[in-house]
Amino acid sequence: MGLRVLAVDDEADFIETLVKRFTYRQIPVTAAGNGPDALALMEREPFDVVILDMRMPGMDGLAVLQEIKKRHPLVEVIILTGHASVESGMQGMSLGAYDYVLKPVDFGELLEKAKKAYERKKLNESRADA
C-alpha cells in the first residue's frame, strides 16, 4: 500500500497541475476544491497525507485541519500557505500539522515532505497497533 495523497486548494489551476505531477510519479492523488469536500472524501476513502491550503473561502485551512485531526488523528497534514505565512504555519504546526510549505512551492520539496509524513504515519500506525 503506497502513499495516498489528498490535495485541498481553491485554486483550480494549481490543484490540477499538482494532481498531474503526483500522478506522473505514480502517486495516487485526489483533489478537493474546499474543506467540506475534502472531509467528505476522507469519509469515503482512506488517505495518508493531506496537502492543505490555509486560505480558502468558506471553511479555512485551520478549521479543516482541526476537523481532520479530530476525525482521522493518524492522517498527516502538510500546510500550504501564501499568506503572512510563518505565523499561520506555526499555528498549524501547533494544531498537529506535520509541516508547512510556503507558496510558491518547490514540487521536489513538497514531495519530499509528503514522503516523510507518510513514513511518520506508518510509524505511528505501527505504534498504535503494538
Partner 1 sequence: MIQDELSRLRLKLIAVTLAFSFIPLLSLGLGLYAKFYDTYTEKIYGNLRNLADNKKVTIDLFLTERVAQLSNLALTESYADLAGDAYLERIFGVLQLHSKSFLDLQVIDQNGICVSYVGPYQLRGIDYSREDWFRTVMAKGIHISDVFMGFRKYPHFNIAVSRREGDKTWVLRAAIDSDIFDSLVRTVQLGKSGDAFLLNAQHVLQTKPRFGHDMFDTVPFPDIPRFSGTRVDELTIGGEVSLYAMTWLNLKDWLLVIKDDPGEELLPLYRARWLLILLLCGGGTLIVIGAVFIANGTVRELIRAEREKATLDASLTQSSKMAALGKLAAGVAHEVNNPLAIIMEKAGWMRDLLSEEDIKASPNFQEFADAVAKIEFHVRRAKDVTHRLLGFARRMEPTQENLDVNLLLEQTRSFLENEANFRGIAFVRDYQSDLPHIESDASQLQQVFLNILDNAIDAIDKNGSITIATRKLPDTPEVEIAIADTGNGIPRETLEKIFDPFFTTKKVGEGTGLGLTISYSIIEKLGGRIQVASEEGKGTTFRITLPVAS
Interacting residue with partner 1 among 4, 69, 103, 120 (CB under 8 A): 103
Task: Verify cis geometry, omega within 30 degrees of 0, for the bond prior to 104.
Answer: yes
Kindly state whether residue 6 participates in binding partner 1, applying the rule CB under 8 A. no
CA 96/CA 2 separation, integer angstroms: 23
Q: Which is nearer to partner 1, 15 or 42 (CB)?
A: 15
Q: Which is nearer to partner 1, 25 or 71 (CB)?
A: 25
Q: Which is nearer to partner 1, 75 or 100 (CB)?
A: 100
Task: Kindly tell me which of 49 and 54 has the beta carbon lying closer to partner 1.
Answer: 54
Phi–psi pair at 84, nearest 5 degrees = -35, 70
Q: How far is the CB of 73 from partner 1 (least distance, A)?
A: 28
- Across 1-130, the runs of DSSP E, i.e. the strands, are 5-8, 29-32, 49-53, 76-81, 99-102
Phi, psi angle pair for 52, to nearest 5°:
-120, 125
Under the binding rule (CB under 8 A), the answer on residue 112 touching partner 1 is: no
Q: Least distance from C-beta 66 to partner 1, angstroms? A: 22
